[in-house]
């Protein structure tokens, strides 16, 4: 038996629900202590997905300097601990790459697939 078409539609609440979900992400110890240090302790941060509104503001703010995009993405998405832009600028590059990967994933920003075979 077929489901009525009306049952297939999402509500406004269902569409917006994903934007309010927070994700705890464990940071690999080697990213927290790149020189070896105390590499045994794992710590976590809390990220939220970027919304289209936040992403538009990031793109507008970084219009003249594309290198600000990942920094602003981290500043907007990282809710625990919350960092200032100056603090984000001091993060190690490996940690920045790790956070950006997770922010892109939870925000649904997937890489465009090439249509050409490699």
- How far is the CA of 74 from the CAs of 2, 14, 22, 36, 49, in angstroms? 45, 25, 14, 25, 10
Burial class of residue 90, CB neighbours in 10 A (0-12, 13-18, 19+)? exposed
The predicted-structure confidence for 11-24, as pLDDT tens digits, reads as follows 888 777 777 889 99
Tell how far CA 79 is from the center of its chain: 11
Average predicted confidence (pLDDT) for the chain? 85
Class of the CATH-defined domain 5-107 = alpha beta
Percent of the chain with pLDDT over 90: 60
The predicted-structure confidence for 41-83, as pLDDT tens digits, reads as follows 778 999 999 999 999 999 999 999 999 999 999 999 999 999 9
| pLDDT for residue 114 | 45
Rounded to an integer, the average pLDDT of 73-98 is 96
34 has a pLDDT exceeding 50:
yes
Tell me the sheet residues that pair with 80: 46
Domain residue ranges of the chain, discontinuous segments joined by +? 5-107
| pLDDT for residue 37 | 62
């Amino acid at each position: 038996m077929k489901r009525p078409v009306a049952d297939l539609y999402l509500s406004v609440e269902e569409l917006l629900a994903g934007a309010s979900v927070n994700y705890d992400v464990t940071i690999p110890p080697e990213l927290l202590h790149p020189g070896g240090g105390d590499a045994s302790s794992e710590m976590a941060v809390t990220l939220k997905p970027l919304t289209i509104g936040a992403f538009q503001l990031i793109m507008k703010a970084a219009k003249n300097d594309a290198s600000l995009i990942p920094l602003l993405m981290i500043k907007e998405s990282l809710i625990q601990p919350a960092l200032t832009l100056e603090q984000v600028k001091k993060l190690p590059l490996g940690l920045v790459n790790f956070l950006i990967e997770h922010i892109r994933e939870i925000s649904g920003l997937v890489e465009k697939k090439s249509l050409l075979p490699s």
